[in-house]
Chains A and B, each alone.
Chain A
């Protein structure tokens, strides 16, 4: 459990952030300059808030009013930096041991071999950091932070410095760490892809403030937050699990609260939890059930809300078995259909993306 309530002025920029996060992965998401890194640095003790309170697992790390401000070395947090920051004068093993040997043996709750195994860095132990690739460096940095037996892991855009293939290679490791070791993670990101694959809780930040806190599915499916969650990526996210595969037609069936979705064959085990992102522009709405149509995913839904947006676009929120779906149609279309809250309709889903891998924390 992490509770943060901090204020700080840096020149013209005022930071005033308050949120609480439970177990699993909490993503701090927002544009650059929104103060995400400052928040993480304050939690780690590398930056000092003007006032407020930071509590991790019941332990007060900072309390402006009570005059408590623990030194970074006394906070017992793991920090994975954007650029790795491995010690160049030590081998990989020396780096991994750096935090570990400063923890009393009785308090080391993660095994060296365990961590090294999950991160796949056994063969790198005797190398120097300058002989590692970017992805390998970050895996070692994650291992180094974990082996210090932290109460919470702070990750500040650990994938940002990597190219796309390396990112894809490292993401499963991060997800694995969250699942395997059960350590809460505060994950800073400005990539919606990473948030979708990793996060349980989402903290949306904008110019030094928290704009919204909530579950990933809930916040990403809320049209009123679309300016923050990314305009081009506007769409709903639903939690689903793999119901089965049909190899003859190359289809995987995903069950979610509102029914079943059919997607191209996924490399996931039956029963695996996953997340599906459906872009608002990929949903069409039909008042009558269409016959003889190529779209395979047609769900019955109820209109929850209709809002006219800019550029003759109308946002329609649909309720589909308790899940919110979000469609964008033209004002012209709305004029023809006359959608209003409470109406029974059919949602035609033309495309969707499956966040790969088992989603952490459920």
Chain B
């Protein structure tokens, strides 16, 4: 885009890439966790619930550091990933996506879980009597009914990913063109003399992006609500 500087468009591209992957990757897992928490009773449920919600209350730097320890090249998980698949996540945009996903995960799970708990289970029973197995019932009845909640969760997680800073800079650092997303670019600019004007431009871009995400979410939510007839 002509009115953006190369640094700005690079930061926007990275932010969108990281956030999209963070949300897309955590959505199936989020659905699964929300379903477990809303529908199943099992020992250790409180613990799982707590672990999922931890990133919401911990300082993001702690989460980033934990990820670095776990997923760094010498970390137990990171070493395995590298040895088996040749994948490195530390200090790459993939790591940034993982950091964003972990931070945004509780928001997604909470909103999906709430809408799952609001589903009229009698409709699922009706589907069963009509010859629909449990998994098919989930996809043909439950999922369409919780779509508004899934949408809200996805948008919240996406917005949270866009604004992710602490965990990202701790885990993957701020590498131009690789991990320097909008908030990181903005922070870098505030650290150099004479960067005020450029920082202000990035602020405006951030506001516009966030606002656009909210508007799209609202428009989608209305369409879904109209389809459900509520």
A residues lining the B interface (CB < 8 Å):
44-46, 71-73, 75-79, 81, 83, 85, 87-89, 98-99, 102-103, 128-131, 144-145, 148
Task: Decide yes or no: A102 and B131 within 8 Å by CB, A87-B141, A131-B229 being known contacts.
Answer: yes
B residues lining the A interface (CB < 8 Å):
120, 122-123, 125-133, 140-141, 144-145, 227-230
Provide a sorted-by-A list of 18 A–B residue pairs whose CB atoms are within 8 angstroms: A45-B129, A46-B128, A46-B129, A71-B128, A71-B133, A72-B128, A72-B129, A73-B130, A75-B129, A76-B131, A88-B228, A98-B130, A102-B132, A128-B229, A131-B229, A145-B129, A148-B129, A148-B131
Chain A residues whose C-beta falls within 8 Å of the C-beta of B133 in the assembled complex: 71, 73
Chain B residues whose C-beta falls within 8 Å of the C-beta of A103 in the assembled complex: 131
Q: Lowest 4 A-B CB distances belong to which pairs?
A: A99-B130, A130-B229, A102-B131, A72-B128
Determine how close the nearest CB of chain B comes to the CB of A154; give it in whole angstroms. 8
B227 near A89: Cβ-Cβ < 8 Å: yes
Q: Which one of A72, A78, A88 lies within 8 Å of B125 (CB-CB)?
A: A72
B123 near A85: Cβ-Cβ < 8 Å: yes
A71 to B140, CA, bound (A): 18
Q: Which one of A46, A81, A88, A148 lies within 8 Å of B145 (CB-CB)?
A: A88
A88 near B229: Cβ-Cβ < 8 Å: yes
Task: Decide yes or no: A85 and B122 within 8 Å by CB, A128-B229, A130-B229, A130-B230 being known contacts.
Answer: yes
A-B contact number at CB 8 A: 66
B127 near A98: Cβ-Cβ < 8 Å: yes
B122 near A81: Cβ-Cβ < 8 Å: yes
Chain B residues whose C-beta falls within 8 Å of the C-beta of A76 in the assembled complex: 131
A89 near B228: Cβ-Cβ < 8 Å: yes
Q: Which one of B122, B125, B128, B145 lies within 8 Å of A89 (CB-CB)?
A: B145
Q: Which one of A46, A73, A88, A89 lies within 8 Å of B131 (CB-CB)?
A: A73
CB-CB nearest in chain B for A77: B129
B122 near A102: Cβ-Cβ < 8 Å: no
Chain B residues whose C-beta falls within 8 Å of the C-beta of A77 in the assembled complex: 129
Determine how close the nearest CB of chain B comes to the CB of A222; give it in whole angstroms. 35
CB-CB nearest in chain A for B137: A73
Determine how close the nearest CB of chain A comes to the CB of B6; give it in whole angstroms. 46
CB-CB nearest in chain A for B229: A130
Chain A residues whose C-beta falls within 8 Å of the C-beta of B144 in the assembled complex: 89
Chain A residues whose C-beta falls within 8 Å of the C-beta of B130 in the assembled complex: 73, 98-99, 102, 144-145, 148
CB-CB nearest in chain B for A72: B128
Chain A residues whose C-beta falls within 8 Å of the C-beta of B141 in the assembled complex: 87, 89
The residue among B128, B133, B141 with the most chain A CB atoms within 10 A of its own CB is: B128
B145 near A79: Cβ-Cβ < 8 Å: no
CB-CB nearest in chain B for A101: B131
Task: Decide yes or no: A129 and B229 within 8 Å by CB, A81-B122, A85-B123, A87-B123 being known contacts.
Answer: yes
Determine how close the nearest CB of chain A comes to the CB of B128; give it in whole angstroms. 4
Determine how close the nearest CB of chain B comes to the CB of A103; give it in whole angstroms. 7
Chain B residues whose C-beta falls within 8 Å of the C-beta of A71 in the assembled complex: 128, 133
A81 near B131: Cβ-Cβ < 8 Å: no
Determine how close the nearest CB of chain A comes to the CB of B118; give it in whole angstroms. 13
Q: Which one of A44, A89, A131 lies within 8 Å of B129 (CB-CB)?
A: A44
Determine how close the nearest CB of chain A comes to the CB of B139; give it in whole angstroms. 12
Determine how close the nearest CB of chain B comes to the CB of A143; give it in whole angstroms. 12
B126 near A85: Cβ-Cβ < 8 Å: yes
A98 to B144, CA, bound (A): 14
Determine how close the nearest CB of chain B comes to the CB of A348; give it in whole angstroms. 50
Task: Decide yes or no: A99 and B131 within 8 Å by CB, A87-B123, A88-B230 being known contacts.
Answer: yes
